[in-house]
């Protein structure tokens, strides 16, 4: 059964959600079986307070820039509908959890339990003891390009983290389940994907079909023709 997770990140006015700092941006990326699906969510938020210059230098956000954006209570339903009941994956997740739950409390909404969060920084420290575990360091370790990142942005960082999270879980090879490692029969089990709802239209032109048929006709008794694998009518589907 496919596993849905949400890779997410927040940008904030500071480091202390209980001391008056607020969220200025939310970025969420949907992944299924560790692979981004293309569904994402980016929301800029009016924090209803000043943004220190040192924070602006990192995020690019200013109070003037965000003054016409919605406040958190106006976007809370959009955020909750996107994440549904999925596991939430973040780098230094307790930081983001603190801000998300603070904002939910302000909206009189139930907080999200700690059990729903996965911290990729903790995963990296466990996997590479003593090595730097920042998102930048992990991108460099896994050869994930940082070219798109001129400022810290919640959605950009979420996409970078999605690539890092895949690598922390074994990379693309992890989608192959070697059951023999657990005492099974040693067969490779490929993940089941839903069938394409509509077949793709063939890109082969009639001229290309005719040229291919002419080329095949010049061959002496090709094996696949004798096995019935080549259609007699080159224009047939």
CB neighbour list of residue 86: distance below 8 Å, 6 or more residues apart: 4, 5, 6, 30, 116
CB neighbour list of residue 9: distance below 8 Å, 6 or more residues apart: 26, 27, 90, 91, 96, 154, 155, 157, 158, 161
Q: Which residue has the tokens 């389940």?
A: 177
Q: Could you tell me if 122 and 97 are in contact, meaning their C-beta atoms sit under 8 angstroms apart?
A: no
| Catalytic residue, candidates 61, 91, 152, 212 | 152
- At CA 99, angle to CA 97 and CA 105, rounded to 5? 100
Active site residue 152: yes
Q: What angle, 0 to 180 degrees and rounded to 10, lies between the N-to-C axes of helices 154-168 and 120-127?
A: 40
The encoded tokens of residue 65 equal 């820039």
What is d(CA 108, CA 111) in angstroms, rounded to the nearest whole number? 9
The encoded tokens of residue 205 equal 């032109």
Q: Which residues have a catalytic role annotated?
A: 152
């Amino acid at each position: 059964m496919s596993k849905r997770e949400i890779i997410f990140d927040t940008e904030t006015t500071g480091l202390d959600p209980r001391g008056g700092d607020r969220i200025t941006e939310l970025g969420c990326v949907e992944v299924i079986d560790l692979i981004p699906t293309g569904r994402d969510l980016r929301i800029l938020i009016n924090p209803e307070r000043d943004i220190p210059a040192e924070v602006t230098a990192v995020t690019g956000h200013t109070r003037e820039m965000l003054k016409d954006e919605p406040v958190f209570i106006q976007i809370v339903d959009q955020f909750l509908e996107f994440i549904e009941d999925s596991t939430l994956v973040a780098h230094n997740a307790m930081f983001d959890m603190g801000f998300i739950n603070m904002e939910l409390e302000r909206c009189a909404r139930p907080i999200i339990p700690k059990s729903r969060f996965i911290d990729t920084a903790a995963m990296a420290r466990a996997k590479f003891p003593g090595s730097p575990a920042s998102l930048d360091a992990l991108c460099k370790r896994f050869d994930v390009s940082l070219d798109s990142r001129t400022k810290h942005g919640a959605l950009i960082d979420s996409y970078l983290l999605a690539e890092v999270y895949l690598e922390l879980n074994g990379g693309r090879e992890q989608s192959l389940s070697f059951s023999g490692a657990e005492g099974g029969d040693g067969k490779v089990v490929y993940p089941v994907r839903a069938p394409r709802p509509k077949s793709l239209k063939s890109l082969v032109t009639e001229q290309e079909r005719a040229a291919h048929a002419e080329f095949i006709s010049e061959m002496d008794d090709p094996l696949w023709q004798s096995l019935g694998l080549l259609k007699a009518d080159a224009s047939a589907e």
